[in-house]
Structure 1
């Protein structure tokens, strides 16, 4: 099973206003209030309304702003294709809102998310495709479900690393999920996500790794002065016939240009 080597030592605090606690407190309070006001509208993203994709992008951008995150997009044009598998490296729960602000779709997510008291119901409404990392025997069923969604013309978002990394290191793209694109004969859109501080330094503030809890991760993000996520839209990859080749092509596209390979992970020189 995929297991990241990242832990709490990888995560460093954000650029908060040191010595200016009132500023941090006010900023954090405003962000929390804004996020709470937006949360009730999340189920509306699953309602088949005209122009839903535009609503989804706008909503995700607003939610990112509530957490103090700004987003910038570069690279190739965002093609309005039907039935595309979107893949990227996996750093944080923020990835969901970041990708949703660029290419919204159904997510492949950990199966235990369905069992969470509040998020579980929301995940079902949003038609999340659950994957049980503890039962590889069910993996073919997940691949078939993704392939069917792609065949039906839906966009599906997956994180082929299988777990989260800190953003300074990353894991290999596992080939299994790419079989869905091959079976459905649909293209794959790799995205390159890079989180940075407002001064351009690479940030591990959003990382959700090791024994980190969701609450502590959210607190770290929402109290940071500002986080900027750069999304690079890579070249669209045709499925071909070899899932390992397809996974390799997408992984190469999704990695930062300055990334240096190492084993078992790849380190990034900031």
Structure 2
């Protein structure tokens, strides 16, 4: 019964915030009368609180631009967790654009949809990302290319960093910064999850979204940590695979430290 109450409260909170703030976001996007970023950030902050998430931030998003944020990926909640603290755009799989409600909300977040399996579209997609980078946007790339179980970091895909190379090659920038970001889900209701229970927060494999969301939100009080690493400078002539390995190594090290000593920072 308590789990059902938590679920209803969580979904009700998200619905209210969406009805109140999305119209403001749409007006901002159409008219440019005010910046859309504060509206997005507020929407995400209200949502993470409604969902029962406590976000603990370690470090800051760098102010260096152009910027690609290279992050691990665990769950559908990652976007709101990051968006509640940072003004960033996201890169997502193209099939997400067709999802009911979620696809529409992703567009409001200025998400860039890519088709990773279709090589003939990769140049156009990388060009769009490069254009966003040149315009000064910070773009979040889930560099594993899929979601993990929250215990380990999967290998980063260097091909996903092609936009950074293209931005330099096209003369849009003389360098691009890559900042590692680790997302770590550490506690349920104040208690450490542990390796065995941490995958409860992960949305992996062929798990259906609705039942996973219902099970996760019914738990309540989830602690998640964001750890920002030092930005890596990437210039013309630099090795993309080496930059990818450096980002992956730092994200992995920060995850291991977070899971070994989950010490909440100031919220």
TM-score band w.r.t. shorter chain: 0.7 to 0.9
Deviation at residue 65 of structure 1 after TM alignment: 1.3
Aligned to 2:265: none
**1:237 is aligned to 2:221:** no
CA distance in 1, matches of 2:61, 2:162: 23
- Is 2:189 the partner of 1:206? no
Q: Which residue of 2 aligns with 1:59?
A: 43
Deviations 1:121-173 (A, max 9, x none): 33334332111133133223222211111011112111111111111133111
What is residue 172 of structure 2 aligned with on the other side?
none
Matches of residues 75-224 of structure 1 in structure 2 within 5 Å? Answer: 75=59, 77-184=60-167, 185-197=175-187, 198-202=190-194, 203-224=198-219
Structure 1, gaps ≥5 residues long: 1-20, 261-267
Does the Cα contact within 8 Å between 1:195 and 1:227 map onto a contact in 2? yes
Of 38, 53, 56, which aligns to 1:72?
56
**CA separation in 1, counterparts of 2:74 and 2:33?**
31
- Determine the C-alpha separation between the residues in 2 that align with 1:43 and 1:242: 44
Counterpart in the other structure of 1:31: 10
Cα displacement (A) at 1:230: 0.5
RMSD of the alignment, in Å? 2.4
TM-score with structure 2 length normalisation? 0.81
- CA distance in 2 between counterparts of 1:31 and 1:68 reads 7
Q: TM-score, normalised by structure 1?
A: 0.80
Deviation of the 1:256 alpha carbon: 4.0
* Contact 2:14-2:50 at 8 Å conserved across structures: yes
1:49 is displaced (CA, Å) by 5.5
For residue 177 of structure 1, report the CA deviation from its aligned partner.
2.3
Structure 2: unaligned runs, 5 residues or longer: 168-174, 262-267
Question: How far off its partner does 1:27 sit?
Answer: 2.5
Contact 2:89 2:111 in 1 (8 A): yes
